[in-house]
Amino acid sequence: MVRIDQLTQTHLDVLKEVGNIGAGNAATALSSLLNKKIDMTIPSINIVDFNELMDYVGGPETLIVSVFLRIQGEAPGSMFFVLTPEETNALVKRLLGDTEFKAEELMEKEMAYSAISEIGNILSGSYLSALSDFTSINMQPTVPTLVLDMAAAILMEGLVEVSQESDHAIIIDTMIEDGEGSTSSVKGHFFLLPDPDSFDKIFSALGVLDK
């Protein structure tokens, strides 16, 4: 079992590659959906404790919109597609042409809710299927759920499994964004949080052996 404090640069590079493959595929999917050029950032691998994770997303009370799914199969974990309220507005505007939409009304606006859910669905699905192909690890997503709430309340739900064994989580963060770079640009973050036991599976599938 690879422990967090024993991770080498090679391990971190492998996890970056995991983020690259997944988000690259998701960016392609979003690009063909929106008929727009979509860029992605280099994945960042963060090893954080729970409170640091909340600071990472802007504080525990920060309002976020998130699609959450559990990965089941040989390498279980949690996956989030996270949008800020502004990013949600931009995405709804682009998908539905609704310029009046406010993210705070997400739970009441059926069309917007459904559109964002579907985007989250498609993107996380393409992320996972790329990852599953690349590693030859069997991964099945649960049905994704979309919520708008405080960051801590949402993210901790995906960390229940991790927290049983550890006080730290390894988070693979990738951002996708359209090329415009303005405040109204379409973008979002993928957070992949493998369960502690899944790292060995991922590392051995990709040929990184324990030293």
Partner 1 sequence: MTITTTMIKVGIADLKTAKAPNMLKTSGLGSCVGVVVYETSQKIAGLAHVMLPDSTVSKRETNNAMKYADTALDILLKELQEHGAKKYALRAKMAGGAHMFSFRSDNKMLRIGDRNVEAVRNILARYSIPILAEDVGGNKGRTIEFNIETSMLEIRTVNAGTTII
Residues at the interface with partner 1 (CB under 8 A): 50-51, 54, 59-61, 63, 68, 70, 72, 76, 107, 142-143, 145, 147-154, 156-157, 160-161, 163-167
Q: Which is nearer to partner 1, 164 or 182 (CB)?
A: 164
Distance in Å, CB of 150 to partner 1, minimum: 4
The pair of three-digit structure tokens given for residue 68, joined into one six-digit string: 């959450």
Task: Determine phi and psi for 193, rounding to 5 degrees.
Answer: -125, 90
Distance in Å, CB of 5 to partner 1, minimum: 12
Distance in Å, CB of 191 to partner 1, minimum: 15
Q: Name the strand (E) or helix (H) holding 108.
A: none
Structural contact between residues 62 and 90, judged by C-beta atoms closer than 8 angstroms? no
Distance of CA 14 to the CA centre of its chain: 17
Q: Which is nearer to partner 1, 38 or 54 (CB)?
A: 54
How many C-beta neighbours within 10 Å does residue 90 have?
A: 23
Query: What do you get for the CA distance between the two ends of the chain, in Å?
Result: 11
Q: Which is nearer to partner 1, 157 or 180 (CB)?
A: 157
Residue whose token pair is 């979002």: 188
Q: Which is nearer to partner 1, 133 or 167 (CB)?
A: 167
Handedness of CA 95, 61, 70, 50 (dihedral sign): positive
Distance in Å, CB of 28 to partner 1, minimum: 27
Q: Which is nearer to partner 1, 13 or 167 (CB)?
A: 167
Structural contact between residues 33 and 57, judged by C-beta atoms closer than 8 angstroms? no
How many C-beta neighbours within 10 Å does residue 38 have?
A: 22
Distance in Å, CB of 31 to partner 1, minimum: 28
